[in-house]
Amino acid sequence: MKKLKTVFNQLKSLNGGEPSDMINLLWQLICYSPKMPVRLQQQQLLDEAKPFTLEVDDPHFAKSALKFNGFVWGDGQRKILITHGWGSKAADFAELIAALKNIDDTQIIAFDAPGNGSSEGELSNLLLFAKAAGAVIKTFGAPDVIIGHSLGGMANAIAIKETGIKPALLISIAPLMNLKENFIASLNAADVAASAQDKFFTDFESLFNMDASGFTLNNLYPAGSVTRHWLAYDPEDKIAPFPFLKSFLAAHPEVETSVYEGLGHEKIIKDENLIADLVRLIA
């Protein structure tokens, strides 16, 4: 978190100026994922898991293979895959994982995406999240249930498409809907000039061979590949604004929704009511 604050403050201090290293700072602002230490309760849960390490290729930033770490609880027949959000890690689902462990005949799999938590990588992006989820699916087999929070919801959509699986239940918790709008919000908060923002998005398109506006859940959604999709949200979520979600739900009326007010974007995954609802859904 300290590094991200430093980058943010550097950009703020420029007062809209555009020094020669501006674009490098912008990439760090958008693609550096802050890392928070593991708490004691979280570490105790990780100690109970069977750890694993897999690799994915990062052709954009590291330009090499990156190792990422994962964790498995249980050896049941029903597989549950959890994909965390931006600036998060598997251990941040400690309360949910502890509850899911009480469901009979389950195997719970979670991982730290490249550039997040305990895994390798300086900068990260949505595609690395999706590649990691895909690598887990190919290694452990198709999950019956896939859970994703925030950016993890988008990553799961891509992984489902890429692997061709058809999960019985997809659970999205406060999923991001429009990645470019999130980028713009971060850039505006740092007082980045419009011309520098335009340059960043031009470079983004060149690097990823895709306009940032294409990274929306509407575009990425694996329609027809999910038997049941259940989505939880807080209508006052500032990170995943409701107007974007409303547009998505209008296009996909089959998605079931549940509202959890007053929790915001991060605390929602720890909410006792949400966790109880998820256990009922899965059990």
Q: What CATH number does residue 222 fall under?
A: 3.40.50.1820
pLDDT band at residue 276 using 50, 70 and 90 as cut-offs: very high
Same domain, residue pair 116 and 185: no
Block residue for tokens 């895994």? 119
pLDDT confidence of residue 202: 95
pLDDT confidence of residue 15: 73
Mean pLDDT, residues 107-121: 98
Same domain, residue pair 53 and 125: yes
Same domain, residue pair 146 and 226: yes
Residue 93 scores a pLDDT above 80 = yes
User: How confident is the model over 126-165, as pLDDT tens digits?
Assistant: 999 999 999 999 999 999 999 999 999 999 999 999 999 9
- Three-state secondary structure call for residue 57: strand
- The span from the CA of 111 to the CA of 119, in Å, is 9
Q: Where are the alpha helices (DSSP H) in the chain?
A: 2-13, 22-31, 40-47, 94-100, 126-140, 151-163, 179-189, 194-208, 217-220, 242-251, 272-282
Block residue for tokens 């929790």? 263
Same domain, residue pair 195 and 151: no
pLDDT confidence of residue 21: 74
Same domain, residue pair 92 and 202: no
Mean pLDDT, residues 186-206: 94
- Give residue 228's domain range: 38-176+215-282
Same domain, residue pair 87 and 208: no
Same domain, residue pair 68 and 187: no
- The span from the CA of 221 to the CA of 160, in Å, is 9
Same domain, residue pair 225 and 97: yes
Same domain, residue pair 162 and 251: yes
Measured CA to CA in angstroms, residue 134 lies from 81, 138, 248 at distances of 11, 6, 24
Total domains, the chain: 2
Same domain, residue pair 109 and 221: yes
Share of the chain above pLDDT 70, in %: 99
The total number of residues shown for the chain amounts to 283
Same domain, residue pair 234 and 264: yes
For the question of whether the overall pTM of this predicted structure is more than 0.95, the answer is yes
- Which of these three, 162, 194, 214, is where a domain ends? 214
Sequence-ordered list of residues with C-beta below 8 angstroms from that of 75, at least 6 positions apart, any chain: 107
Same domain, residue pair 171 and 185: no
User: How confident is the model over 28-45, as pLDDT tens digits?
Assistant: 999 999 999 999 999 999
Mean pLDDT, residues 71-97: 98
pLDDT confidence of residue 14: 85
